[in-house]
């Protein structure tokens, strides 16, 4: 196990333990008198929702040209609270934000994440063939792709592939999708 993997696993376990402790016992300061918690300077941030402070902090960072979309900020919750409440007094906010987040880890992404849009036809990844068919031939066939040809090709596809091509308009949206659809038809002998 590499040191980076070990650090990641340890961070995950610590965050899970922290969540469990917060869930099971919201007041971890048993020795404090409950009547004093409102006047306690350290515990004064109880009334604010941490997600609101984090959202506000991320907006302020974006305003100063710092993208924190991929940064996990849960470890600097109190710092964010102070920063948001004292923003007007900070002389160089961008430098302050960078210093605050320099030791923060990468945000864990859970569940389905949409892929980022790539350029439609980039010069670096120029496609010359699809399924072994030259793209020039596929582009010539694209001119003749009408509703009848669409239905013929679609009916030859397996049901799982039909989901990718719901309508002729969707097929014609991009060159890549049109080329793949026509190549599927050629591969199956429809064209």
Residue 7 falls within a domain, yes or no? Answer: no
Are the beta carbons of 131 and 176 closer than 8 angstroms? no
Q: Residue 82 has what pLDDT?
A: 92
Q: Residue 23 has what pLDDT?
A: 64
Do 92 and 140 sit in the same domain of this protein?
no
* pLDDT exceeds cutoff 80 at 22: no
* pLDDT exceeds cutoff 80 at 24: no
Residue 117 falls within a domain, yes or no? Answer: no
Per the model's pLDDT, the better-predicted residue between 23 and 55 turns out to be 55
Residue 23 falls within a domain, yes or no? Answer: no
Provide φ and ψ at 130, rounded to 5°. Answer: -130, 125
Buried b (16+ CB within 10 A) or exposed e, 20-29: eeeeeeeeee
Q: Residue 49 has what pLDDT?
A: 60
Q: Residue 171 has what pLDDT?
A: 85
Residue 116 falls within a domain, yes or no? Answer: no
Q: Tell me the per-residue pLDDT of 78-135, one tens digit each, with 9 for 90 and over.
A: 998 999 999 899 888 888 888 888 888 777 766 666 666 655 544 556 778 777 888 8
What is this structure's pTM? Answer: 0.37
Query: Cα–chain-centroid distance for residue 18?
Result: 24
Domain that holds residue 183: 129-187
Do 133 and 97 sit in the same domain of this protein?
no
Q: Tell me the per-residue pLDDT of 78-93, one tens digit each, with 9 for 90 and over.
A: 998 999 999 899 888 8
Is the Cα dihedral 81, 87, 91, 97 positive or negative?
Answer: positive
Residue 58 falls within a domain, yes or no? Answer: yes
Residue 5 falls within a domain, yes or no? Answer: no
Do 135 and 173 sit in the same domain of this protein?
yes
Q: Residue 43 has what pLDDT?
A: 47
Per the model's pLDDT, the better-predicted residue between 188 and 119 turns out to be 188
Per the model's pLDDT, the better-predicted residue between 8 and 57 turns out to be 57
Do 181 and 135 sit in the same domain of this protein?
yes
Residue 149 in tokens: 């040809």
Into how many domains does the chain fold? 2
Residue 35 falls within a domain, yes or no? Answer: no
Q: Residue 8 has what pLDDT?
A: 64
Q: Tell me the per-residue pLDDT of 133-187, one tens digit each, with 9 for 90 and over.
A: 888 888 888 888 888 888 988 898 888 777 778 888 888 888 888 888 888 888 8
């Amino acid at each position: 196990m590499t040191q980076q993997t070990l650090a990641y696993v340890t961070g995950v376990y610590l965050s899970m333990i922290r969540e469990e402790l917060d869930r099971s016992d919201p007041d971890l300061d048993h020795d404090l008198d409950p009547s004093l918690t409102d006047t306690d300077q350290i515990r004064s941030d109880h009334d604010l929702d941490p997600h609101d402070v984090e959202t506000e902090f991320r907006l302020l960072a974006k305003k100063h040209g710092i993208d924190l979309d991929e940064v996990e900020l849960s470890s600097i919750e109190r710092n964010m609270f102070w920063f948001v409440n004292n923003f007007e007094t900070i002389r160089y906010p961008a430098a302050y934000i960078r210093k605050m987040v320099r030791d923060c880890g990468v945000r864990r992404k859970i569940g389905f994440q949409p892929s980022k849009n790539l350029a439609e036809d980039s010069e670096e990844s120029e496609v010359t063939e699809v399924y072994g068919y030259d793209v020039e031939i596929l582009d010539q066939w694209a001119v003749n792709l009408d509703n009848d040809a669409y239905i013929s090709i679609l009916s030859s596809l397996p049901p799982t592939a039909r989901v990718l091509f719901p309508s002729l308009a969707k097929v014609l949206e991009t060159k890549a999708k049109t080329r793949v659809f026509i190549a599927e038809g050629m591969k199956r002998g429809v064209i």
